[in-house]
């Protein structure tokens, strides 16, 4: 099994000495560099570069510059996806966003994690577990979502949260570690009860 195959199947792998993975990361980082240096008003060119970089997108998405990722091909944007400045996605595993996801500035989605044992970590070994974000999700500023987390539909994650465990649908969650503080109705809200 190649290091890439190990990575994609959630097994321990070495990203530091595998030339295929190094080349793929360099290619993605070159596209991120190109994207981040496009004139912000050139929306068509920005869209074109992200279509090359991101594994799967729908038609309507905006990612404000700067944006950084490891590989790109493991990222999926749903319809009407918006991410504000300084989004970082470490994507050795799948990172899938549903429709109508809004992400505030300075957020990170990190599928990679390292062994607790220092000797394995020092060898450059790591794991990756997917992150799934449902539909109609708003993620506040400076939020970090860690490997293996699923965020359900109709969720609000409060600013500054560190999401270490799954968050169920129809909830507001905040804190470090992030915890549900309120359940939401699955009915369409009116302006009065927001």
DSSP the chain: --HHHHHHTT--EESSS-HHHHHHHHHHHHHHHHHHTS-TT-HHHHHHHHHHHSSB--S-EEEPSPEEES-STTEE--TTEEE-SSEEEE-SS-EEE-SSEEE-SS-EEE-EE--SSHHHHHTTEEEE--EEE-SSEEE-TT-EEETT-EE-SSEEE-TT-EE-S-B-SSEEEETTTTEEEEE--SSPPPGGG-
Annotated catalytic residue 47:
no
Nearest to 91 by CA among 107, 60, 106, 70: 70
* Annotated catalytic residue, options 114, 123, 158, 172: 114
Q: Which residues are catalytically annotated? A: 114
């Amino acid at each position: 099994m190649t290091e890439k195959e190990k990575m994609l199947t959630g097994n321990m792998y070495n990203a530091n000495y595998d030339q295929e993975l190094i080349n793929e990361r360099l290619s993605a980082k070159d596209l991120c560099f190109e994207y981040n240096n496009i004139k912000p008003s050139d929306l068509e060119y920005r869209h074109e570069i992200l279509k090359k970089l991101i594994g799967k997108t729908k038609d309507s998405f905006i990612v404000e510059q700067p944006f950084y990722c490891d590989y790109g091909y493991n990222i999926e944007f749903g319809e009407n996806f918006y991410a504000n400045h300084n989004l970082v996605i470490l994507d050795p595993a799948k990172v899938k966003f549903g429709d109508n996801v809004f992400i505030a500035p300075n957020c990170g989605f990190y599928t990679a994690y390292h062994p607790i044992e220092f000797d394995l970590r020092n060898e450059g070994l790591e794991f990756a577990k997917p992150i799934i974000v449902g539909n109609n999700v708003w993620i506040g500023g400076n939020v970090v979502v860690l490997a293996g987390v699923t965020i359900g539909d109709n969720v609000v994650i409060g600013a500054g949260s560190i999401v270490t465990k799954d968050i169920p649908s129809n909830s507001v969650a905040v804190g470090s570690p992030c915890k549900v503080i309120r359940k939401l109705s699955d009915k369409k809200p009116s302006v009065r009860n927001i």
